[in-house]
Structure 1
Amino acid sequence: MFRRTLVSTLSIALCASTALAQDLPQAGSDYYTAAQDALAERINLQPNTNKAMNVILFVADGQGVHTNYGIRLYEGQQNGFLGEEYDLPHDLFPNSAIIKTYNINSQTPDSAPTAGAMNTGVKQVFNTINMADTVIHDDCSTESPLRLFSEMASDAGMSVGAVSTASITHATPAAVYAKTANRNWEGSAPEGCTDIATQLIEQMEAGVIDVALGGGIRAFAPAGVEMETGTGNREDDVNLVERATASGIQYVYDAETLAAADRSQPILGLFSNSHMSYEHDRPEDEPSLADLTTAAIEQLSGNENGFYLEVEAGRVDHASHAGNAHRTFTDGVAFSDAIRAAQEMTDPENTLIIVTADHEHSIVFNGYCGRGTPITGLCMGVAKGQVEHSGEPVLAADGLPYTVVTFGQGAGSVLVEQEDGTYAGSRPDLTQEEAQDPDYLQQALIPMGSETHSGVDVALWATGPWSHLFGGTMDQEMIFHVMNHAVFGAAE
Structure 2
Amino acid sequence: MRKQLSASLMALFSMEALFAQETTADNSVNWHVQPLMQLEKAKHYTPNHAEAKNVILMIGDGMSIGTITASRIYAGQLEGKKGEEHRLYMENLPHVAISKTYSADMQTVDSAAAATAIMTGQKTNNGVLGVSDKVALNNCQSALRNELSTIFEIAAEEGLSVGVVTTTRLTHATPAATYAHSANRNWESIANMPKSALNKGCIDIARQLIEFDYGSGIQVALGGGKSKFTLKQSGGERDDEDLILSWQKRYPNGTFVENKKALLEVDAASTDRLFGLFSDSHMPYVLDKSEMQNVPSLAEMTQKAIAVLSKNPRGYILMVEGGRIDHAHHANLAKKALAETVEFDNAIQAANKVADMDNTLLIVTSDHSQALTLSGYAKRGTPIVGLSDEKDQNGNSYTTLAYTTGPGTGNTLSGELTIDEISDKDYSQKANIPRASGTHSGEDVVISATGASASLFQGFVDDTYTFYAINEALGFRQQEHITTMH
Q: TM-score range by the shorter chain?
A: 0.7 to 0.9
Match of 1:183 among 169, 182, 185: 185
Shift of 1:276: 0.6
Matched ranges for 1:33-112 at <5 A: 33-112=33-112
Larger deviation: 197-206 or 115-124? 197-206
- Give 1:368's match in structure 2, choosing from 332, 356, 377: 377
Alpha-carbon spacing, 1:410–1:53, altered in 2? closer, same or farther (3 Å): same
Q: SS where residue 97 of structure 2 aligns?
A: strand
Is the Cα contact below 8 Å between 1:406 and 1:443 reproduced in 2? yes
Q: Secondary structure at the match of 1:348?
A: coil
Q: 1:254 aligns with which of 245, 250, 259?
A: 259
Query: How much has 1:275 moved relative to structure 2?
Result: 0.5
2:134 maps to 1:116:
no
State the one-letter code of the partner of 2:425: P
Indicate the larger mover: 204-213 or 241-250: 204-213
| Gapped regions of structure 2 (runs ≥ 5) | 11-20, 22-28, 479-486
Name the counterpart of 2:16.
none
Secondary structure of 2:91's aligned partner: helix
Structure 1 residue aligned with 2:426: 439
The Cα of 1:205 is off from its aligned counterpart by 8.4
Distance 2:54 2:140 in 1: 34
1:18 aligns with 2:6: yes
Instruction: Report deviation, 1:333.
Output: 1.1
Contact 2:362–2:450 at 8 Å: present in 1 too?
A: yes
The one-letter amino acid of 2:154's match is M
The residue that corresponds to 2:169 in the other structure is 167
| CA distance 1:205–1:245, shift in 2 (3 Å) | farther
CA displacement, residues 393-433 of structure 1 (integer Å, 9 cap, x when unaligned): x2111111111101112113239xxxxxxxxxx74213321
For the pair 1:414 / 2:420, whether they are aligned, the reply is no
Amino acid in structure 2 at the alignment position of 1:466: S
- Contact conserved, 2:331 with 2:428, CA < 8 A, in 1? yes
Q: Which moved more, 1:189-198 or 1:171-180?
A: 189-198
CA distance in 2, matches of 1:396, 1:365: 15
TM-superposed CA distance for 1:259, in Å, is 2.4
User: Is residue 97–residue 460 contact of structure 1 (8 Å, CA) maintained in 2?
Assistant: yes
Give 1:113 shift.
1.2
Q: What pairs up with 1:30-429 in 2 under 5 angstroms?
A: 30-143=30-143, 144-188=146-190, 189=193, 190-191=197-198, 192-203=201-212, 207-222=216-231, 224-226=232-234, 231-234=235-238, 236-248=239-251, 249-263=254-268, 264-281=271-288, 282-380=291-389, 394-414=390-410, 427-429=413-415
Deviations 1:441-460 (A, max 9, x none): 10111111101100111111
Letter paired with 2:396 = L
Q: Which moved more, 1:87-96 or 1:256-265?
A: 256-265
Distance 1:247 1:19, change over 3 A: closer
1:458 and 1:41 mapped to 2: Cα distance?
Answer: 24
**Displacement, 1:15?**
2.5
After alignment, is 164-173 or 34-43 more displaced? 34-43
Q: Secondary structure at the match of 2:108?
A: coil
Instruction: State the SS of the aligned residue for 1:279.
Output: coil
**Letter of the structure 2 residue corresponding to residue 55 of structure 1:** V
Assess if the C-alpha contact under 8 Å between 2:88 and 2:345 holds in 1: yes
Distance 2:225 2:76 in 1: 32
C-alpha contact (below 8 Å) 1:50/1:490 kept by paired residues: no
Deviation at 1:79, TM superposition (A): 1.2
CA RMSD of aligned residues (A): 2.1
User: In structure 2, what is the equivalent of residue 466 of structure 1?
Assistant: 453
Shift of 1:483: 1.1
Match of 1:389 in 2: none
In the alignment, the residues of structure 2 paired with residue 202 and residue 250 of structure 1 have an alpha-carbon distance, to the nearest angstrom, of 17
Does the Cα contact within 8 Å between 1:409 and 1:448 map onto a contact in 2? yes
Question: What is the alpha-carbon distance in structure 1 between the residues aligned to residue 409 and residue 164 of structure 2?
Answer: 36
Q: Which residue of 1 aligns with 2:17?
A: none
CA distance in 1, matches of 2:450, 2:52: 11
Which residue of structure 1 aligns with residue 26 of structure 2?
none
Q: In the alignment, which residue of structure 2 is the partner of 1:422?
A: none
- Mapped partners of 1:314, 1:36: distance in 2: 35
Gaps of 5+ in 1: 1-12, 23-27, 381-393, 416-425
Task: Report sequence identity in percent.
Answer: 40
TM-fit CA distance, 1:31: 2.2
State the SS of the aligned residue for 2:208: helix
Larger Rg: 1
Contact 1:57 1:310 (8 Å CA) reproduced? yes
Aligned to 1:87, the other structure's residue is in SS state coil
Partner deviation per Cα, 1:311-357 (whole Å, 9 max, x = no partner): 00111100010111111011111111111111110132211111111
Amino acid at match of 1:458: V
Deviations 1:62-96 (A, max 9, x none): 01101111111111110111111111111011111
CA contact (8 A) 2:159 2:216 kept: no
Q: Secondary structure at the match of 1:115?
A: helix
Q: TM-score scaled by structure 2? A: 0.88
Q: How many residues align?
A: 446
Deviation at residue 286 of structure 1 after TM alignment:
0.9
Query: Are 1:481 and 2:468 an aligned pair?
Result: yes
Q: Secondary structure at the match of 2:461?
A: strand
